[in-house]
Amino acid sequence: VLPGCGYFARKQTDELIELAKSNGGKGLVFISIDNEINSIEELSDKNYRSPIKKLLSVEAVKSISNVTNAKPGDLIVIVADDYKVANNVLSNLRTEMGKRLKLYDTSEFSFVWVDNFPLFEWDDKESAWSAMHHVFSAPKQEDLEYLEKDPGKVRAELYDLVCNGHELGSGSIRIHDRRTQTRVFNVIGYTKKDIDERFRHLLDAFDYGAPPHGGMGLGLDRLIMILGGEDNIREVIAFPKTQAASDPLFDAPSF
């Protein structure tokens, strides 16, 4: 819900649609609530606009408004897609509109630790599980029972430090025993041959008694970007590279 944005014209909603598409979405659906009523309960057919109005009854709009806590004068934005894409679109839309509408104080520094990440994510293209972070992240002990029967339920010992929506650093506790590491490899589809050829040295080392270990790394460039009030990390890097990973100052790579 975009508070007080029910007045948005076609040009403004088209900009939001392009933002959604640039983040993997197929588009957006809007419901504009007039500010001429005092409450959603007073809503009538004349008090809302939508490109799919023919498909929406007054009761349906009231129900959507109540679920989203929309008020008269607000703009309801709807994304229809799979879970991951919809979250990504709404996250970027929320960040952009928060900035445009000045819904947060840019002089404040808000920190949060993010944990309980899923260990695996489903890859639709490959029709297989893949590691959300990397294959060496330790699963939570209480979730080990789900490794084979329900990998999507397994959480990892991963953690991120976030400030004002930007990731400052991330880390994890690593797997330190052969059996757990082999089970994780099996979930993501590695064969015994793959494991032997690529990771036998690691698994053999575990047999000698690797201790529990972990750590995290902080992004100094990103921290400087936030402290400097910049939106792009390139502004605080001495010799930033382009999107194609080339360096225009030194013409590198030059072949």
Residue 59, domain CATH = 3.30.1360.30
160 plus 210 within the same structural domain = yes
pLDDT above 80 for 249:
no
42 plus 116 within the same structural domain = no
126 plus 204 within the same structural domain = yes
Token pair 């494991």 is found at 195
231 plus 115 within the same structural domain = yes
Q: Residue 247: beta bridge partners?
A: 252
23 plus 122 within the same structural domain = no
123 plus 96 within the same structural domain = no
For residue range 146-205, list pLDDT tens digits in order.
999 999 999 999 999 999 888 999 999 999 999 999 999 999 999 999 999 999 999 999
Structural domain boundaries enclosing 180: 111-236
Q: In this structure, are residues 52 and 29 in contact, taking their beta carbons and an 8 Å threshold?
A: yes
pLDDT of residue 234: 85
Token pair 């989203």 is found at 68
Report the C-alpha gap between 94 and 100 in whole angstroms: 10
Rounded to an integer, the average pLDDT of 44-61 is 93
Number of domains in the chain: 2
Exposed e or buried b per residue across 73-101, where buried means at least 16 C-beta atoms within 10 angstroms of its C-beta: bbbbbebebeeebbebbbebbeeebeeee
pLDDT of residue 135: 93
Look up residue 39 and give its two tokens.
């409450």
pLDDT above 80 for 81:
yes
State which of 79, 100, 121 marks the end of a domain: 100
123 plus 85 within the same structural domain = no
Is 221 a domain residue? Answer: yes
141 plus 71 within the same structural domain = no
68 plus 93 within the same structural domain = yes
pLDDT of residue 106: 79
Mean pLDDT, rounded, of the chain: 91
Report the C-alpha gap between 109 and 132 in whole angstroms: 28
Is 146 a domain residue? Answer: yes
Count other Cβ atoms within 10 Å, centred on residue 31.
Answer: 24
Rounded to an integer, the average pLDDT of 90-99 is 90
Rounded to an integer, the average pLDDT of 32-57 is 92
122 plus 219 within the same structural domain = yes
- Cα separations in angstroms, 84 against 24, 79, 112, 154, 234: 10, 11, 21, 17, 27
Look up residue 123 and give its two tokens.
């890859």
Model's pTM, two decimal places? Answer: 0.73
Greater model confidence, 207 or 249: 207
pLDDT of residue 253: 80
Indicate which CATH number applies to the domain containing 183: 3.30.930.10
Report the C-alpha gap between 30 and 66 in whole angstroms: 16
Report the C-alpha gap between 249 and 255 in whole angstroms: 15
Is 4 a domain residue? Answer: no
Is 1 a domain residue? Answer: no
Using a pLDDT cut of 70, give the percent of the chain over it: 100
Residue 187: which of 132, 238, 232, 240 has the closest Cα? Answer: 132
136 plus 34 within the same structural domain = no
Which positions ≥6 away from 250 have C-beta within 8 Å? 239
Q: In this structure, are residues 180 and 132 in contact, taking their beta carbons and an 8 Å threshold?
A: no
132 plus 189 within the same structural domain = yes
